[in-house]
Amino acid sequence: MSSDPSHTPGDTKPEISVARLTSLSGPDLHELCDATDAAILDGGGFGWLSPPPRHVMEAYWKGVLLVPGRELIVARLDGTVAGSAQLWRPPKNNEAQAYTGQLTTFFVAPWARGHGLARMLVEAVEAAASDAGLRALNLDVRETQHRAIAVYEQLGYQCWGRHPRYAWIDGRWHTGYYFAKDLGENGQGAKRSA
């Protein structure tokens, strides 16, 4: 996206939404790549330290939709993709963790922050997890992701551990934190989908 969709006082309230994406149509892929690039340049980006070439980014997002057990949820600000999160469910042969999921690749582009999209994305992943019969969500996050950590804590995630050599950035180690949230017994007896 070439322009900043920020609103000044007096403007109408922006339209915000989150939804599961099962295909990339229209401008979705371009917007998702642009939002990801912006998040990476701002210090986020789920592992990338600088934006990869566009064809690599596009291949990544196309691939996400092909992976069994992954659900891609995107946030939109005034109709433009502005962030995403993924729910990862364990494969069917992992019976011991059949009721746990992973919240991963969570970000909101800097130009779309301050509208509640981060909270909406996490809550949408939780809803998808509950719908799939999962009872717990796990996640890990780098210490530098202060806003993400605050969102997780506000939504009841508990930090259960830390890894002092989680990520190597700018010539030094950064700590990672591990969080979990009990989603309750809603998944008991629920049939898991593929």
Q: What is the pLDDT of residues 165-193, one digit of tens each?
A: 999 999 999 999 999 999 987 543 333 33
Residue 90 CA to residue 142 CA, distance in Å, equals: 22
pLDDT tens readout for residues 88-126: 999 888 888 889 999 999 999 999 999 999 999 999 999
Domain range enclosing 173 = 16-185
How many CB atoms lie under 10 A from the CB of residue 145? 19
What's the total number of domains in the chain? 1
- The answer to the question of residue 192 being in a domain is no
- The answer to the question of residue 66 being in a domain is yes
User: Are 85 and 21 a contacting pair, CB within 8 Å?
Assistant: no
User: Are 135 and 100 a contacting pair, CB within 8 Å?
Assistant: yes
- The answer to the question of residue 7 being in a domain is no
- The answer to the question of residue 194 being in a domain is no
What pLDDT does residue 53 have?
97
CATH number, domain with residue 56: 3.40.630.30
Q: At 33, list the tokens.
A: 């790549």
C-alpha separations of 190 from 68, 131, 157, 185, 187 in Å:
19, 9, 23, 10, 5
Angle at 74 (CA atoms; ends 100, 152), nearest 5 degrees: 50
| Non-local CB neighbours of 188 within 8 Å, separated by 6+ positions | 133, 135
pLDDT tens readout for residues 40-51: 999 876 789 999
What pLDDT does residue 56 have?
96
What pLDDT does residue 190 have?
38
- The answer to the question of residue 96 being in a domain is yes
- The answer to the question of residue 190 being in a domain is no
Q: What is the pTM of this model?
A: 0.86
Q: At 174, list the tokens.
A: 């950064």
What pLDDT does residue 1 have?
39
